Amino acid sequence: NAGVTQTPKFRILKIGQSMTLQCTQDMNHNYMYWYRQDPGMGLKLIYYSVGAGITDKGEVPNGYNVSRSTTEDFPLRLELAAPSQTSVYFCASSYPLRGPSSYEQYFGPGTRLTVT
Amino acid sequence: DAKTTQPPSMDCAEGRAANLPCNHSTISGNEYVYWYRQIHSQGPQYIIHGLKNNETNEMASLIITEDRKSSTLILPHATLRDTAVYYCIVRVEGGTSYGKLTFGQGTILTVHP
């Protein structure tokens, strides 16, 4: 198992550009999540998905879009990048069953994004 | 979700036990205590969770007080590789929570040689 993989590892964007952060998991997890982490801060939930075709907003969704067409993939789209979106982005997935195990999340290595 | 309070930083000597406290005085009966850690520049890593009984796994032990208002994560023999930010998270199980986690500032644990 590769676990949760994210691409790219690093990216520099100019203001107003768009990009898609890729996330793939090979553990057959139904639940997937996108978090962002600003320097010195904890992680904040952007979007999450409980299965293919089902997504919902987290704490900080503005400026982002997601889709979930397959169980494995959960891409995060940034439209019109702004300096405030400079952050480290983490994708995570968790077990499909409800209950305490659904909180045992597996995280990817992160994408470090700079918007200038 | 119950709010958690953790000290911003702690130090520990290599080979000694690291005891990381977490206060969650407003925890309700169906909320679990979860611990994650984040080693520098990496994604967070699940450590352990519990409801009211003490729990132990290969990484750590979790001690929850009888009134459930606080807990302690114990790393029995800390190594330099345990230097990380440790997050204590309280979440309700089931319903529409869908496994979402809320991360606070955590405790920066530094293990010294």
pLDDT-derived band of residue B81, with 50, 70 and 90 as boundaries?
very high
**What are the C-alpha distances in Å from A87 to residues A14, A61, A78, B17?**
14, 14, 12, 34
The answer to whether the Cβ–Cβ distance between A102 and B44 falls below 8 Å is: no
pLDDT-derived band of residue A97, with 50, 70 and 90 as boundaries?
low
And the tokens for A43? 């992680």
Return the pLDDT at B102. Answer: 87
For chain B, which residues lie within 8 Å of any Cβ of chain A, measuring from their own Cβ? 32, 34, 36, 41-46, 49, 51, 87, 89, 91, 93-94, 98-106
Instruction: Dump pLDDT digits (tens) for B48-68.
Output: 999 998 999 999 999 999 999
Contact between residue B36 and residue B105 where contact means Cβ atoms under 8 Å apart = no
Q: Is the confidence at residue A6, as pLDDT, over 60?
A: yes
Q: How many helices (H) and strands (E) does chain B have?
A: 0, 9
- Probe site for chain A from B100, B103, B108 (most A CB atoms < 10 A): B100
Return the pLDDT at A108. Answer: 97
Return the pLDDT at B98. Answer: 78
Q: Is the confidence at residue B41, as pLDDT, over 80?
A: yes
Q: Is the confidence at residue A100, as pLDDT, over 80?
A: no
Instruction: Dump pLDDT digits (tens) for A77-92.
Output: 999 999 999 999 999 9
Return the pLDDT at A2. Answer: 83
Return the pLDDT at A102. Answer: 61
Return the pLDDT at B14. Answer: 97
Return the pLDDT at B50. Answer: 92
pLDDT-derived band of residue B30, with 50, 70 and 90 as boundaries?
confident
Which residues 6+ apart lie within 8 Å of B62 measured at CB? B33, B35, B48, B49, B50, B54, B55, B56, B71, B72, B73, B74
What percent of chain A lies above the pLDDT cut of 90? 79
Q: Which residues of A touch B87 (CB under 8 A)?
A: 42
Task: Say whether A101 sits in a helix, a strand or coil.
Answer: helix
Question: Averaged over B31-56, what is the pLDDT?
Answer: 93
Peptide bond into A8 cis (omega under 30): yes
Q: Is the confidence at residue B45, as pLDDT, over 80?
A: yes
Q: Which of B32, B101, B102 sits opposite A105 (nearest CB)?
A: B101
pLDDT-derived band of residue A45, with 50, 70 and 90 as boundaries?
very high
Mean of the per-residue pLDDT values of chain A: 92
Instruction: Dump pLDDT digits (tens) for A60-69.
Output: 999 999 999 9
Return the pLDDT at B95. Answer: 66
The count of other CB atoms within 10 Å of the CB of residue A90 is 26
Element (H, E) at B91: strand B84-92
Question: Averaged over B73-86, what is the pLDDT?
Answer: 97
**What are the C-alpha distances in Å from A22 to residues A66, A77, B47, B50, B91?**
10, 9, 26, 33, 28
Phi, psi (deg, nearest 5) at residue A100: -55, -30
Closest residue, chain A, to B105 (C-alpha): A42
